[in-house]
Amino acid sequence: MTAKVLSGAEVAESVLGEVEERVRALAARGKSVGLATVLVGEDPASHVYVRNKRRTAERVGITSIHHELGADASQEEVESLIRSLNDDPDVDGILLQLPLPGDLDGQRAVEAISPAKDADGLHPMNLGHLVLDTPVLAPCTPSGSIRILDHYGIPTSGANVVVVGRSFLVGRPLAILLGSKDRNATVTLAHSRTRDLPALCATADILVAAIGRPEMITADYVKPGATVIDVGINRTEAGLVGDVAFDDVVSKAGAITPVPGGVGKMTIAMLMANTVSAAERRLG
């Protein structure tokens, strides 16, 4: 058996097509959509991520408003810039690129973002809405992973799901979303202290790897025919690899996302979807 490869690139294109239509519909009502990006410091990877986000925004008709601060910026400077964007009527979404350099407190800075403009869905208010089963702006990588399942018609209701990794950015919100009354999966959230991880993972109908360990998930973690969602992005000497050993797992799983071309493509697309949702809500 060879698994079906779930193309995040294809799903992202379909999400971006929908976003473009919604942006046009808002323009017809006299409302333009603006995404502010805030980049602090010189980290090359962060510069690449922000450039890609800005390019994608412009491609779908969202105005990109970019701000850069030096690595020596103070916490107050970062938060004061965010507050000015909260008050700016041309800004619908705010993206603060994380991590912040040095001693700057990224979590505190995220809390300065108005929840209504929180394009990344990482403000405690928006994370709280997930727990209440009333999502408003959901975090992009988790909602992008679910969108892939939806696109390929992979049911979550009643499915046994194991999510490996419990970060507030990916694993934990994804587990909450999958276990919601909308999704109805039975979810186990695994982490570095989980006992006998391979045996647990091998019970999953849907296995999600959000670990940050190159190719850790091998075929012995996978139930025959399971769906495997690889969130990991690891830069190795061999290039970009996921948390799943693709070549090993592809012959055992029923469906699998590749790296690159999988979940990574969805994160930016969902950022655009959140930005247009924020604009629609502001217009009422």
User: In the range 26-55, which residues lie near ligand NDP by CB under 6 A?
Assistant: none
Binding of residue 210 to ligand NDP (CB under 6 A): yes
Residue spans of beta strands (DSSP E) within 158-238: 160-164, 186-190, 206-209, 227-230, 234-236
Angle at 237 between CA 236 and CA 241, to 5 degrees: 35
59 contacts: CB under 8 Å, gap ≥ 6: 16
CB of 241 to ligand NDP, least distance (A): 9
Contact 215, 201 (CB under 8 A): no
| DSSP string for residues in 90-155 | T-SEEEE-SSPSTT--HHHHHHHS-GGGBTTS-SHHHHHHHHTT--SS--HHHHHHHHHHHHTT--
Question: Of 57-65, 126-134, 154-162, 232-240, which segment contacts ligand NDP by CB under 6 A?
Answer: 232-240
Binding of residue 257 to ligand NDP (CB under 6 A): no
Q: Which is nearer to ligand NDP, 31 or 213 (CB)?
A: 213
Catalytic: 120? yes
If residue 76 lies in a helix (H) or strand (E), which one and from where to where? helix 75-87
CB of 2 to ligand NDP, least distance (A): 23
Contact 140, 124 (CB under 8 A): no
Residue with smallest beta-carbon separation from ligand NDP: 167
Please give the structure tokens belonging to residue 154: 């992979």
Contact 251, 229 (CB under 8 A): no
Catalytic: 53? yes
What character string, x for contact with ligand NDP (CB under 6 A) and - otherwise, covers 164-193?
xxxx-xxx------------------xxxx
d(CA 64, CA 87): 17
User: In the range 111-140, which residues lie near ligand NDP by CB under 6 A?
Assistant: none
CB of 122 to ligand NDP, least distance (A): 11
Binding of residue 197 to ligand NDP (CB under 6 A): yes
CB of 198 to ligand NDP, least distance (A): 10
Which of 138, 185, 211, 272 binds ligand NDP (CB under 6 A)? It is 211
Q: How far is CA 168 from CA 113, 121, 142, 176, 272, in A?
A: 17, 11, 10, 11, 20
Catalytic: 103? no
Question: Of 40-48, 81-89, 99-107, 228-236, which segment contacts ligand NDP by CB under 6 A?
Answer: 228-236
Which of 138, 159, 206, 233 binds ligand NDP (CB under 6 A)? It is 233
Q: Which is nearer to ligand NDP, 63 or 212 (CB)?
A: 212
Helices 140-151 and 171-178: angle between axes, nearest 10 degrees: 40
d(CA 176, CA 55): 31
Q: How far is CA 216 from CA 30, 165, 232, in A?
A: 50, 12, 10
Q: Tell me the number of residues near ligand NDP by CB under 6 A.
A: 25
Of 118, 120, 205, 230, the active-site residue reads 120
CB of 24 to ligand NDP, least distance (A): 27
Q: Which is nearer to ligand NDP, 155 or 212 (CB)?
A: 212
Active site residues: 53, 97, 120
Binding site for ligand NDP (CB under 6 A): 141, 164-167, 169-171, 190-194, 197, 210-213, 231-234, 263-264, 267
